[in-house]
Chains A and B, each alone.
Chain A
Amino acid sequence: MGYPHPSHPKETVVLSQYFGDEGARSFDGWVQRGGYQALKQALAMAPEAITEVVKASGLRGRGGAGFPTGLKWSFMPKPSGKPHYLCCNADESEPGTFKDREIMRWTPHALIEGCAISAFAIGAERGYIYIRGEFTEPIRIMQAALDEAYAKGALGGDVFGSGKRIDLYIHRGAGAYICGEETALMNSIEGKRGNPRIKPPFPAAAGLFGMPTTINNVETLAAVPHILTRGAAWYKGLCLSSPKSTGTKLFSVCGQVLKPGNYEVTMGFPMKDLIYDLAGGMRPGRSLKAVIPGGSSVAIMTAAEAESALCDYEGIAEKGSSLGSAGFIVIDDSADLVYEIYRLARFYAHESCAQCTNCREGTAWTVKILERILRGEGKPADLDLLMDLAENMTGKTICPLSDSCAVPVVSGIKKFRADFDRYLAGAKSPALAGV
């Protein structure tokens, strides 16, 4: 549902059915709403069979990378005595994205159940739910739900009498966007600086504490119980366009729309309807200027591109951008797009872990150039420089943070040149007065 707004008829409500329903938070409340059936079902299956169901459903990672989930699970090795780990990525820090927070706040048991099923499927007896440090409310709610789950036998040494052990712990982050990167997340759990690791080795081979590990996003894991109870075919059938993009996706619509919120739509849903129908469209007297559809680390789309795009991995890629985490930032004609791009660059510069030269220095330099442009002191050569730096920041680092900084800059300059030209002609940004 477009919480905090009521469900829109065009939504496909699966994960968000109980957003706003406080009764769904408790174990009993969740069971009343059909919860924990999937876990019981899973415990009676062979782990590999669960993976096959998830594969057949077409579920892809909802954290941003869109990697087929069943395939990722199948990378885990056969049991060999080494402990396997599940990590739930609840670090949600991608600007524009706020869906995992809602899943945890309203349906914590959905996540617990999804984690438990996944842990069982991949042969893990222990999982860590890495929640960003700022999510104090989700942490409180999740911890209370975990305590209840243990008390009711849904977790612990003998889950629902199956003889299987599943332990889940919350690991609280402490303020680092980069810890949303799967290998940095593992380092953070291990008590280290949140530096991404070189791959290979991949987590399934050597992940958390060097052991076989699977990391999945909150939204991905929350979908798993539904896939089990309602079937892979059902999930796969939720598809309006490309058969490679199935199921529903929570779009975190924010920015300059009348009704920001999380809207759950079937993959392939028309983006135009998402903006104007579900999210209520522009404020009075305003027109759509740009959309950043995938969280901020993807190319900016023009209004024309957005209005003709379909909301799935392939549809948005066709328009030159990415679905990413579906952190959907709407920008209208009143916005100072150059400032917003600068502010995003500042975000990346702040969050760079400092390992790779290109990222550490390039993000900060990008900020300085954009700041100068915003002060009306920029030159046309500065745009060429920004494009050149963006190239030196793309495809050259351990993780894609520097690429993420480059992408909005490049797409901004290419598609919204007029905005930059205004500044090159001498305009000064009033927003910088408070910087």
Chain B
Amino acid sequence: MSGHATAHGGETHEPVFTGKVRAQLEALFPRYPTRQACLLPALWIVQEQRGWISPQAMAEVAQELGVTPAYVKGVVTFYTMYHQHPVGRHFIQVCTTSPCHLCGSADVVGALLRHTGCGELGATSADGRFTVVEVECLGACGFATPILVDDDFIDAVTPERVPGILERYR
């Protein structure tokens, strides 16, 4: 199936699955007995390429895998790690579930919001660099407070460590 540009509400969508990216998608096909099973990995590819998953990208994925766009939307909106809107250049996830809360995650959240300039959870900083969100248990409770900055999983974050960590992403 060749890539195609689709117009949607005036915007043209440049296909994601071309060239090397297409090869990445096709490498998934032999792993599963159905095309549909490639959906989660395919969505990860889209997010890696574009930073988020637009309705047009959902339609493209749907076409590649032989499912409907509505079906893809149902999957994208189920899984919280898929971004349905553009986010800051660096996306920060902080765990605030009880085990981490007991170990002071609230203070880590405060420090992150201050030092990124985001001001509140879910907002993107004015310079577009950061978005900070709270997430549920990240599976590193003994190393409180863990955060994810993009794909970097950072253990044992404290308010004091926050400025130094953010420096790496300036």
Contacts and interface: CB of A to CB of B under 8 A. Distances in A.
Interface of A: 4, 83, 92-98, 100-101, 132-137, 169, 171-177, 188-194, 209, 252-256, 260-262, 296, 327, 329, 331, 335, 339-340, 343-344, 347, 350-351, 353, 431, 434
Nearest to B113: A434
B142 A252 contact: yes
A351 B138 CA distance: 13
Interface stretch (B3-11, B14-22, B97-105, B122-130): B97-105
A134 B78 CA distance: 15
Given A136-B151, A329-B98, A191 B137 contact: no
Ordered nearest first, which 9 A-B pairs have the shortest CB separation? A191-B39, A174-B79, A175-B81, A175-B80, A254-B141, A260-B142, A191-B36, A95-B137, A174-B81
A169 B32 CA distance: 10
A167 to B, nearest CB: 8
Contacts of B165: none
Contacts of A351: 136
7 contacts: A95-B99, A96-B141, A133-B44, A175-B80, A191-B34, A193-B75, A255-B103
Given A209-B33, A254-B142, A260-B141, A194 B102 contact: no
Contact of B40 (A92, A101, A188, A331): A188
Interface of B: 31-34, 36-41, 43-44, 65, 67, 74-75, 78-82, 93, 96-99, 101-103, 106, 109-110, 135-144, 148, 151-153
B141 A173 contact: no
Nearest to A431: B106
B153 A135 contact: yes
Contact of A134 (B36, B93, B141): B93
A142 B67 CA distance: 30
Contacts of B40: 171-174, 188-189, 191
A397 B106 CA distance: 33
B103 to A, nearest CB: 7
A193 B43 CA distance: 13
**Residue among A191, A193, A261, A339 facing the most chain B CB atoms (10 A cut-off):** A191
